[in-house]
C-alpha cells in the first residue's frame, strides 16, 4: 500500500512538472530570439501613459533589435501574441516570422493612464 501511494505521488509530481516546465518563457514560434550582426532597429520611447509612436513597422523574417527607453516614469513592454518582453535600456533581438499587427502594451502599472498606454507593431 505504501509503495502504491509513493508511486502515485511520484507520477502526479512528474505530470505536474512536465506541465509547468519545458516552456520558453512565453515566446512563440512567431518570434524567435536571434543574434545577427546586421539587424533593423526599433527604438520605443515611453513616457507617462504614452509611447513616442502609435505604430512601429518591421519586415517579417528579418532580425530586429528592440530597445525600450523610459523618457518619463518607469515602464516595461509586452508585445502581445509574440511573447516578447522588453525592459528599459536592454536591447533584445528577434526575428518575427509571421506578418500581422500586434499590440504593444506597458507591463508595469504606471499610473492613471496605464490602461490606455498602447501602440501597434506592424509586421509586413
Between the two ends of the chain, the Cα-to-Cα distance in Å is 61
Rounded-to-integer distance, Cα 25 and Cα 55, Å: 25
pLDDT digits (tens, 9 = 90+) for 76-101: 999 999 999 999 999 999 999 999 99
- Domains annotated on the chain, with CATH: 25-123 (2.60.40.420)
* pLDDT score recorded for residue 111: 85
16-45: pLDDT as tens digits: 444 433 444 445 689 999 999 999 999 999
**pLDDT tops 80 at residue 64:** yes
User: How do residues 106-119 score in pLDDT, each as one tens digit?
Assistant: 999 888 888 999 99
Amino acid at each position: 500500500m505504501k509503495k502504491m501511494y509513493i508511486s502515485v505521488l511520484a507520477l502526479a509530481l512528474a505530470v505536474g512538472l512536465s506541465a509547468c516546465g519545458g516552456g520558453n518563457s512565453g515566446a512563440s514560434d512567431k518570434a524567435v530570439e536571434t543574434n545577427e550582426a546586421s539587424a533593423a532597429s526599433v527604438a520605443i520611447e515611453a513616457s507617462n501613459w504614452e509611447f513616442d509612436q502609435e505604430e512601429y513597422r518591421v519586415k517579417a523574417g528579418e532580425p530586429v533589435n528592440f530597445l525600450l527607453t523610459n523618457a518619463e516614469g518607469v515602464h516595461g513592454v509586452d508585445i502581445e501574441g509574440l511573447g516578447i518582453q522588453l525592459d528599459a535600456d536592454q536591447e533584445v533581438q528577434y526575428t518575427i516570422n509571421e506578418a500581422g499587427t500586434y499590440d504593444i502594451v506597458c507591463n508595469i502599472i504606471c499610473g492613471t493612464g496605464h490602461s490606455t498606454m498602447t501602440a501597434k507593431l506592424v509586421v509586413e
